[in-house]
Amino acid sequence: MAAAAGPPKAKSSPKSIKFLFGGLAGPVRLWGRVYSISAVLKVLIAARPLDLVKNRMQLSGQGSKAREYKTSLHAVASILRNEGVRGIYTGLSAGLLRQATYTTTRLGIYTILFEKLTKADGTPPNFFMKALIGMTAGATGAFVGTPAEVALIRMTADGRRGYTNVFNALIRITREEGVTTLWRGCVPTMARAVVVNAAQLASYSQSKQALLDTGFFSLWKGFTPYYARLGPHTVLTFIFLEQMNKFYRIYFLDS
């Protein structure tokens, strides 16, 4: 007698959607952590200048005309003095493209391979396989994202190359130095991504599995939609309350 077939495997979203969600994960994750426009602007204002300062300090002291940055504050002051406020956002377009290509590829590939190696009964791959999947996804993502990273380093290095944006940088690098220059430093970049993603993605998946498998957290089932409803509801409640009190004071108490 034939053995009973296991439960059918859950339907999966198209591969293109997996890559799309992977690319949107960064912005969505960011929006999930901040709840105001001012907080988003703080992250945008702080992240790009810090990355620029890091690159400039690591390259400082090279060449006869190179500037020597003693501290981070000294680097910021020097960049503002010599290049203006726009100078601290040099390479912003390259940073965005690098994040889009690298993150989209690595998370998309990780999701696809993870589902491929998940058994028909829903049993996920073991931790070793998760790490291997993370290494593969990280290496591939780094390879795809290296051209944008090369452009980013070039644009933030000294500001004297005159790249107007990341696409101008990619076109000029290809025309002036050859297409292979876009993948200069690819091997160490991929090696770094292999280590980072093997630890990051595998640990995330394993922790998620452990939390879902326990009995204890079932007490908090439904917390996410509850909080998603209650959070905005509470905020809007007090906003409307304050505005109504304000209008009442203006039009009734002070009249």
Write down the residue that tokens 């957290």 correspond to: 217
Do 98 and 209 lie in one domain? The reply is yes
Residue 198 lies in a domain: yes
Which pLDDT value is given to residue 33? 38
Structural domain range at position 241: 223-255
Do 111 and 229 lie in one domain? The reply is no
Residue 59 lies in a domain: yes
Which pLDDT value is given to residue 173? 93
Reported as a single tens digit per residue, the pLDDT across 101-159 is: 888 888 888 888 888 888 888 888 888 898 999 999 999 999 999 999 999 888 887 66
Do 93 and 174 lie in one domain? The reply is yes
Do 137 and 249 lie in one domain? The reply is no
Residue 4 lies in a domain: no
Tell me the pLDDT of the chain averaged across its residues.
Answer: 75
Q: What share of the chain in percent tops pLDDT 90?
A: 19
Do 130 and 159 lie in one domain? The reply is yes
Neighbours of 149 (CB within 10 A): 23
Residue 97 lies in a domain: yes
DSSP 17-71: HHHHHHHHHHHHHHHHH--SHHHHHHHHHHHHHHHHHHHHHHHTT-STT-----S
Do 161 and 237 lie in one domain? The reply is no
Do 150 and 231 lie in one domain? The reply is no
Do 115 and 71 lie in one domain? The reply is yes
Reported as a single tens digit per residue, the pLDDT across 205-237 is: 888 777 777 666 666 766 666 666 666 666 776
Do 125 and 177 lie in one domain? The reply is yes
Which pLDDT value is given to residue 187? 93
Do 236 and 124 lie in one domain? The reply is no
Which pLDDT value is given to residue 204? 80
Which pLDDT value is given to residue 184? 93
Q: How many domains in the chain? A: 2
Asked if pLDDT for residue 39 goes beyond 50, the answer is no
pTM of the model: 0.63
Rg over alpha carbons for the chain, rounded to the nearest Å, is 25
The CA distances from residue 175 to 79, 114, 172, 185, 204, in Å, are 29, 39, 5, 19, 42
Asked if pLDDT for residue 180 goes beyond 90, the answer is yes
Do 26 and 128 lie in one domain? The reply is yes
Residue of 167 and 22 predicted with greater confidence: 167
Separation CA 234–CA 230 (nearest Å)? 6
Do 189 and 64 lie in one domain? The reply is yes
